[in-house]
């Protein structure tokens, strides 16, 4: 019997070796031996051994371990956060003014910031997308929307312009004696546009009319708001677009509210506008006297054409288009992204802003407010409706 078991084991082992020898090289055999019974074996009886093959590798596997140096973290001296600007003014002015902000942010956060001035706004967007963990872009509303669509960049702040507004709007003006009472009546009508590159004065209305299947007739581009307003007043075109700033209400007890107040709320007085002693167009006196100050594009030609308000009216306004804004790359560290909006608002309220973003030879902003992403929906509407695929509306040199 002992001879039989010994022969059996030899045969099994020989068979495994032969199998391995006939397999493609190299071959690795992992063997598990299971020995039942007590761990101490003193018996001279034969021991039954079960051999279990658990893994057979019949091909060569090469493991390559790649070792790379760890990148510096965003905000370090070796990898500072980038404040990116399009060429809104001379490069030297941007570099000098923006460095004040970079130094202030470094002092507040302990992180490093560097100023970058690029050839055009699309390059700012490209870098926000290429390096989303370390880039902060100063963009138009169109730039913000495109950056968001292209790579998920997020807006954090919206500028308060020198007129006190964080938005801009356009208006459609028609003669009061015309038969135009709705957008549908503009189909086939002639249109004077003061600025073909303007979102509120041109592209928003292009998209709005296209979305409703309304096709204007002749479109004439004219040099500025004044010319556009005179064109509609004089009957040279059926309607014109121009810049809308809301009126200042009596005693400035509250602000005019977009979407709630009538664009020409002052008409409820039944009085016509006049020129105040300090050069403003007012209705029933200055706001501090209980009157209204009128500020839309028609006020620019009031001195030579006092009938402009009596003979024209606003048909509709564009949506509110956000002012210039600050956006961050989609992967900017959350802690900084969360701080940045309040930090920028604080900076804009400080004396340092007068030497930087608030300087008249730079942006000339009055402040920065926390951005509301939904406010950019009208810009997305324009982009999607008109199918923009180029850089026509972005800032370039």
Same domain, 306 and 197: yes
Residue-level pLDDT at 388:
78
For residue range 283-331, what is the model confidence (pLDDT) as tens digits? 999 999 999 999 999 999 999 999 999 999 999 999 999 999 999 999 9
Evaluate whether residue 353 is within a structural domain. Answer: yes
- Same structural domain for residues 315 and 194? yes
Q: Within a domain: residue 20?
A: yes
Per-residue pLDDT at 9 exceeds 70? no
What is the Cα–Cα distance from 116 to 61, expressed in whole angstroms?
A: 48
The continuous run of DSSP H or E covering 125 comes out as helix 121-130
In a domain, residue 393? The reply is: no
Q: Are residues 334 and 316 in the same domain?
A: no
Q: Does any domain span residue 74?
A: no
pLDDT for 68-100, tens place per residue?
458 899 999 999 999 999 999 999 999 999 999
Strands 191-193 and 135-139: unpaired
pLDDT at residue 216 in the model? 97
- What integer pLDDT is reported at residue 71 of this predicted model? 84
**How far, in Å, CA of 316 to CA of 277, rounded?**
30
Same structural domain for residues 228 and 281?
A: yes
Q: Which own/partner contact pairs does 387-393 have at CB distance under 8 Å and 24+ positions apart?
A: 388/146, 391/120, 391/121, 391/122, 392/197, 393/140, 393/142, 393/197, 393/199, 393/203
CA atoms within 13 A of residue 305's CA, in its CB half-sphere: 18
How many structural domains are present in the chain?
A: 3
Least confident stretch, 57-71, 121-135, 220-234, 336-350: 57-71
Instruction: Judge if 88 and 114 occupy the same domain.
Output: yes
Same structural domain for residues 224 and 336?
Answer: no
Which among 321, 339, 370 is the end of a domain?
A: 321
Is the peptide bond preceding residue 26 cis, with omega within 30 degrees of 0?
yes
Q: Is residue 394 part of a domain?
A: no
Dihedral angle of Cα 97, 100, 105, 110, to the nearest 10 degrees: 140
The answer to whether residue 64 sits within a structural domain is no
Domain contains 254: yes
Query: What pLDDT, on the 0 to 100 scale, is given for residue 286?
Result: 94
Same domain, 286 and 310: yes
Contact (CB, 8 A) for 174 and 312: yes
pLDDT at position 10 over 50: no
In the predicted structure, residue 22 carries a pLDDT above the cut 70: no
For residue 55, the tally of other CB atoms under 10 A from its CB is 9
Same domain, 219 and 92: no
Containing domain of residue 150, as a range?
Answer: 81-164+323-386
The CA distance from 259 to 247, in Å, is: 14
pLDDT of residue 390: 56
Give percent above pLDDT 90 in the chain.
78
CA distance 274 to 294: 10
Please, what is the average pLDDT of the chain? 85
- 252 in the same domain as 120: no
pLDDT at 391: 58
The domain that holds 245 is classified in CATH as 3.40.190.10
Query: What is the predicted pLDDT for the residue at 69?
Result: 59
| Alpha carbons 230 and 121: distance in angstroms, whole number | 34
308 and 179, same domain (yes or no): yes
Domain match, 127 and 181 both: no
Instruction: Measure the CA angle with vertex 220, ends 216 and 224; round to 5°.
Output: 125
* pLDDT-wise least confident of 10-24, 105-119, 201-215, 300-314: 10-24
The structure's pTM equals: 0.80
Report pLDDT digits (tens) over 121-144. 999 999 999 999 999 999 999 999
Residue percentage of the chain with pLDDT more than 70: 81
Q: What is the pLDDT of residue 312?
A: 98
Whether residues 143 and 191 fall in one domain: no
Q: Which residues of 201-232 are buried (b: 16+ CB within 10 A; e: fewer)?
A: bbbbbbbbbeeeebebeeeeebeebbbbbbbb
Measured CA to CA, the distance from residue 309 to residue 264 in angstroms comes to 10
CA distances from 92 to 123, 344, 361, 362 (A): 18, 22, 11, 11
DSSP secondary structure code for residue 376 in this structure: G
Q: Of 271, 292, 321, which closes a domain?
A: 321
- The three-state (H, E, C) secondary structure of 228-296, written as one string: HHHHHHCCCCCEEEEEECCCECHHHCCCCCCCCCCCCHHHHHCCCCEECCCCCEEECCCHHHCCEEECC
Give residue-wise pLDDT tens across range 351-370.
999 999 999 999 999 999 99
Using the 3D structure, point to which of 300, 321, 342 is the last residue of a domain.
321
Taking the alpha carbons of 308, 309, 312, 314 in that order, is the dihedral positive or negative? positive
Q: What is the pLDDT of residue 124?
A: 97
- What is the Cα 303 distance to its own chain's centre? 40
Residue 396 falls inside a structural domain: no
Q: What angle do CA 248, 252, 258 make, to 5 degrees?
A: 50
């Amino acid at each position: 019997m002992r001879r039989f078991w010994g022969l059996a084991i030899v045969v099994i082992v020989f068979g495994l070796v032969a199998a391995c020898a006939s397999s493609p090289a190299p071959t690795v055999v992992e063997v598990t031996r299971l020995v039942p019974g007590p761990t101490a074996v003193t018996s001279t009886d034969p021991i039954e051994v079960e051999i279990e093959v658990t893994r057979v590798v019949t091909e060569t596997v090469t493991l390559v371990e790649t070792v790379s140096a760890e990148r510096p973290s965003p905000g370090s001296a070796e990898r500072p956060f980038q404040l990116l600007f399009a060429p809104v003014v001379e490069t030297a002015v941007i570099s000098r003014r923006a460095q004040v902000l970079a130094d202030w942010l470094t002092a507040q956060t302990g992180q490093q910031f560097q100023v970058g001035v690029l050839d055009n706004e699309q390059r700012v967007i490209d870098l926000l997308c290429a390096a989303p963990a370390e880039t902060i872009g100063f963009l138009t509303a169109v730039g913000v929307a495109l950056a968001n669509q292209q790579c998920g960049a997020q807006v954090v702040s919206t500028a308060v312009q020198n007129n006190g507004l964080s938005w801009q709007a356009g208006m459609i003006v028609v003669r009061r004696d015309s038969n135009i009472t709705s957008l549908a009546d503009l189909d086939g009508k002639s249109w004077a546009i003061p600025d073909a590159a303007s979102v509120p004065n041109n592209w928003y209305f292009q998209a709005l009319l296209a979305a409703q299947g309304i096709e204007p007739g002749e479109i004439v581009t004219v040099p500025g708001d004044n010319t556009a307003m005179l064109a509609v007043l004089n009957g040279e075109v059926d309607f014109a677009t121009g810049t809308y700033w809301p009126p200042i209400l009596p005693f400035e007890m509250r602000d005019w509210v977009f979407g709630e107040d009538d664009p020409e709320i002052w008409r409820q007085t039944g009085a016509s506008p006049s020129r105040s002693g300090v050069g403003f167009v007012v209705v029933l006196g200055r706001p501090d006297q209980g009157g209204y100050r009128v500020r839309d594009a028609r006020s620019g030609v009031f001195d030579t054409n006092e009938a402009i308000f009596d003979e024209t009216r606003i048909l509709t306004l564009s949506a509110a288009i956000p002012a210039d804004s600050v956006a961050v790359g989609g992967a900017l560290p959350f802690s900084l992204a969360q701080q940045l909006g309040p930090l920028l608002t604080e900076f804009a309220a400080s004396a340092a802003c007068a030497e930087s973003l608030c300087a008249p030879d730079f942006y000339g902003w009055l402040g920065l407010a926390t951005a509301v992403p939904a406010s950019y929906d009208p810009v997305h509407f324009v982009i999607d409706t008109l199918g923009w695929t180029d850089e026509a509306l972005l800032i370039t040199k």
